[in-house]
Amino acid sequence: MPHTIAEKILAARSGLHEVDAGELVTAHPDRVMSHDNAGLVIRQFRAIGADRVFDPARIIIPLDHRVPAESERTAAAHKSIREFVRQQGISAFYDIREGICHQVMVEKGHVLPGELILGTDSHTTSYGCLAAASSGIGATEMAAVWATGELWLRVPETIRIEVRGRFRPGVAPKDLALHLIGKLTARGADYKSVEYYGPTIAEMPVSGRFTLCNMAMEMGAKFAIVPFDGRTREYLTERTEGDYTPVAADPDAGFAERYEIDVTDLVPQIAMPHRVDNVVPLPEAAGIKVDQVVIGSCTNGRIDDLEIAAGRLKGRSVSSSVRLLVIPGSRSVYLEAVRRGVLETLLEAGAVILNPGCGPCLGAHQGILAPGERCLATTNRNFKGRMGSTEAEVYLCSPAVAAEAALIGEIPERLG
Amino acid sequence: MEKKITGRVWVLGDDVDTDVIYPGKYLPILEPEEMARHALEGVAPDFPDRLRPGDIIVAGMGFGCGSSREQAATCLKTAGVAAVVAGSFARIFFRNAVNQGLPVVQADISGGLKDGDTITIDFDACRIEHSDGEARFPPLAESVRAIIEAGGLIPAVREKLGIKS
């Protein structure tokens, strides 16, 4: 029978010849990732009473959510994680200096095509940018995976999205991601896998594919996968010597839904408070004053994102009424941004450069909002209270829109 | 797990997200009892005080969308919430609830109920009785129900691995 990528990967990781959407399988993930919440995973692992993790070589732990520790409680959790990885011989531990977990996973060669990867973070779907099937789970479930090396998964139905057309200048994969979420809604891909096809995807660098797969979580997706191609291979060649077997869907695979999108006329998009699927074209949000602008996160913290922002801010000044926070996604991105002069440009314009991490995106620290404040961010969620006060508002956009808004202190009508 | 429960309901809308159920600023908390003191704080600051053991949360579609934080399920379970009934659940929240031993029931009954109403959930018969009538819900997969009945994933895994208490 013909199968989707999700069906093929889950069959292989469950030791079965084939599986179909709707079946429950016991799967063995290739790799598992936890960040600061490894502190909670460790606690649950101890509650199980297991002694050793199933395979220390399959566990990756980058610290990123509250780095450096913003409180004594977090400091204690980080300390317990450092002790645990030493005891258990987990070598793929990245302490606070390295960057956002998903960026680190992809950069450091911990994601390979055709693999099944689970993480204690909802945006684990991002690894589909390298043709892996990856998804988020909770801390207790991860503790059970650490103890047993397996977990139950339902084989998801698959949505096929075909994208055609060339982006207008200033329009980015983030705008496509927001547009799709607005169209399919926050529940549109619940429990489903999404596969992306078409000439626009073929032309899109891995960075943009990352943004798409990352944001697919905001329509409920279990997996979001861009099939393997030359761009995937090229990205991996520089980062891993690991063997992998790419998995492709059969042409006549049973897709539950199909969508076709033409981006030729797509304009920049804004997700309005307090829902990620409350998406409008940029002109409809024009004129809304903002107090803080955040450029960064696992969604848009890569070198091309920072370069786009710097290109718009070069030789100009951030509005005196705006706090512009820029967060390179990883140490590697940070270093590259230093070398290319991107950070100098941003600093001259008046940006505050933060260390790689998640900080303000989830309201952990570094840019908490007061009641009545508005933030425009390149991050992934705008839920009520997400960045601090429940009486604050978060708007989501691309790096280009964020940079323009930082200059004029409000959401622009268009990009010049 | 009780086969049949009766409880007072709190009725919430669609897309109750994890930041509303358990705000990100509380994520460093490790003690479930302390987590419970912030359950649904994003709905209303005094919501944790309103919750009493045995209460049932009734919501619309997409309950628990957003983060993978299992504290969203743990805080409800520890606050004594007996079950969450929703039109649909976000997938990670659903798994987290099962893994915490918090019964999740897929039924869209939020339209006909108001805060303080009483409902009865019969897990064997897959039936909910409420003031407005009754509703049916699909049974959970046997393996999933077994985790809830064991009291959550930790006791279930301990049993599987043969770890004695």
d(CA A109, CA A145): 21
How many percent of chain A have pLDDT more than 70?
Answer: 100
Q: Would you state the pLDDT for residue B131?
A: 85
Please check whether residue A356 touches B, CB under 8 A: no
d(CA B97, CA B72): 8
Q: Would you state the pLDDT for residue B165?
A: 65
Name the superfamily (CATH) of residues B4-139: Aconitase, domain 4 (3.20.19.10)
Please check whether residue A197 touches B, CB under 8 A: no
pLDDT score of A242 more than 90: no
Q: Would you state the pLDDT for residue B152?
A: 96
pLDDT score of A16 more than 70: yes
Q: Tell me the residues of B at the A interface, defined by beta carbons under 8 Å apart.
A: 15, 17-20, 23-25, 27-30, 42, 61-62, 65-70, 73, 88, 90-92, 95-96, 99-100, 141, 143-144, 152-154, 157-158, 160-161, 163
CA-based nearest residue to A275, from A209, A220, A322 = A220
Q: Which residues, given as ranges, of chain B have pLDDT below 50?
A: none
Please check whether residue A389 touches B, CB under 8 A: no
Please report residues of B whose CB lies closer than 8 A to that of A223: none
Buried-state track A360-378, b at ≥16 Cβ within 10 A, e below 16: bbbbbbbbbbeeebbbbbb
Bridge partners of A93, per DSSP, are A61
C-alpha distance from A381 to closest chain B C-alpha (Å): 8
DSSP letter for B12, please: -
Q: Would you state the pLDDT for residue A43?
A: 97
Cβ distance B67 to A384 less than 8 Å, yes or no, reads no
pLDDT band for position A224 (cuts 50, 70, 90)? very high
Domain boundaries, chain A: 5-261, 270-408
**How many residue contacts between A and B have a Cβ separation below 8 Å?**
129
pLDDT score of A298 more than 70: yes
Cβ distance B154 to A47 less than 8 Å, yes or no, reads yes
Cβ distance A384 to B24 less than 8 Å, yes or no, reads no
Q: Could you tell me which residues come within 8 angstroms of residue A96 by beta carbon, excluding any fewer than 6 positions away?
A: A63, A64, A67, A68, A69, A78, A355, A357
Cβ distance B157 to A144 less than 8 Å, yes or no, reads yes
State pLDDT tens for residues A299-342: 999 999 999 999 999 999 999 999 999 999 999 999 999 999 99
C-alpha distance from B82 to closest chain A C-alpha (Å): 20
Sign of the C-alpha dihedral computed for residues A405, A409, A411 and A412 taken in this order: negative
B99, B104, B144, B165, best to mutate vs chain A, most A CBs in 10 Å: B99
Please, are residues A274 and A382 in contact by the beta-carbon 8 Å criterion? Answer: yes
Q: Would you state the pLDDT for residue B1?
A: 72
Cβ distance B95 to A141 less than 8 Å, yes or no, reads yes
Please check whether residue A26 touches B, CB under 8 A: no
State pLDDT tens for residues A339-387: 999 999 999 999 999 999 999 999 999 999 999 999 999 999 999 999 9
Please report residues of A whose CB lies closer than 8 A to that of B18: 383
Please report residues of A whose CB lies closer than 8 A to that of B99: 138, 140-141, 144
State pLDDT tens for residues A29-43: 999 999 999 999 999
Cβ distance B62 to A190 less than 8 Å, yes or no, reads yes
Cβ distance B90 to A40 less than 8 Å, yes or no, reads no
d(CA A164, CA B78): 49
d(CA B63, CA B12): 9
d(CA A41, CA A39): 5
Please report residues of A whose CB lies closer than 8 A to that of B92: 122, 136-138
Q: Would you state the pLDDT for residue B56?
A: 98
d(CA A12, CA A25): 11
Please check whether residue A66 touches B, CB under 8 A: yes
Name the superfamily (CATH) of residues A270-408: Aconitase, domain 3 (3.30.499.10)
Q: Which residue of B has its CA nearest to A188?
A: B62
pLDDT score of A241 more than 90: no
Helix axis angle, B153-161 to B142-149, nearest 10°: 100
Q: Over chain A, what is the mean pLDDT?
A: 97
Cβ distance B152 to A190 less than 8 Å, yes or no, reads no
d(CA A380, CA A284): 20
State pLDDT tens for residues B26-59: 999 999 999 999 999 999 999 999 999 999 999 9
Domain A5-261 classified CATH 3.30.499.10? yes
How many percent of chain A have pLDDT more than 90?
Answer: 98
DSSP letter for A216, please: G
B71, B91, B140, best to mutate vs chain A, most A CBs in 10 Å: B91
Domain boundaries, chain B: 4-139
Please report residues of B whose CB lies closer than 8 A to that of A390: 42
- The DSSP annotation for B78-143 comes to HTT--EEEES-B-HHHHHHHHHTT--EEE---GGG--TT-EEEEETTTTEEEETTEEEE-PPPPHH
